[in-house]
Amino acid sequence: MVRWNLQRDFPLYVPRFNIAPSQQVPVIVSTDNAPDAKSMQWGLVPWWAKEEAIGNRMINARAETLTEKGAFKNLVDRRRCLVPADGFYEWRKEGKRKVPMWFHLNSKEPFAFAGLWDVWRRPNGSNLETFTIVTTEPNELMRPIHNRMPAILRREDEERWLDVSGAQFDKVRLVLKPFPSEQMDAHDVSTLVNKPENDTAECIRPFSGDEIFTPQLSLL
């Protein structure tokens, strides 16, 4: 993909609109020649884990404590990755209900979350590659909604984060800062996104609570 100067396109890539933990996601890693795309499971399973289920609790990693946590401290200098996206969901509390929102760049361009990845060997001997998304403090747009946000990398910082051979974590940790709120926007979407099996463009369509929503699902 030209955006990240990859050796090849994302493997078996199709547009996604509602990705959930434990699902396979395209992730960009550094290789000897150029960045490359791999399909990995969202939810980090450290190499030393006794069971795969630990990944359900490791979908995110706090930027401030990466070097303190056993699952992450050995990855920050050797297994950093980019997680491509063009937006993410967060839920706003209104009384007893939660309203889903879609956050994206003003430009509508794709971007990358900072991530870490690892390889776990299954009991049958096969390898499972997994990743986690780094989070940071919220920017002004996100702060009224949540006390954390994904660490969106500025385009000029993506190569630095990905290049584990050229920059140790102590030299790149400053890129894990809140993305400028003036470059982002958000709008309400329907509760269709509350179910991972709903994975269509309707998920990110601007939605008013007064609308009557009829889901349109594609059948494979």
Of 105-119, 124-138, 200-214, where does mean pLDDT reach its minimum? 200-214
* This prediction's pTM: 0.90
Burial state string for 30-66 with b = 16 or more CB within 10 A and e = fewer than 16? beeeebbbbebbbbbbbeebeebebbeebbbbbbeeb
Question: What is the per-residue pLDDT across 55-80, written as a single tens digit (0 to 9) for each?
Answer: 999 999 999 999 999 999 999 999 99
What are the structural domains of the chain?
A: 2-204 (3.90.1680.10)
Report the pLDDT averaged over residues 180-199: 96
For Cα atoms 84, 158, 119, give the angle at the middle one, nearest 5 degrees. 60
Q: Determine the pLDDT at residue 4.
A: 74
Report the pLDDT averaged over residues 164-192: 93
Regarding beta strands 88-94 and 97-105, do their DSSP bridges make them parallel or antiparallel, or are they unpaired? antiparallel
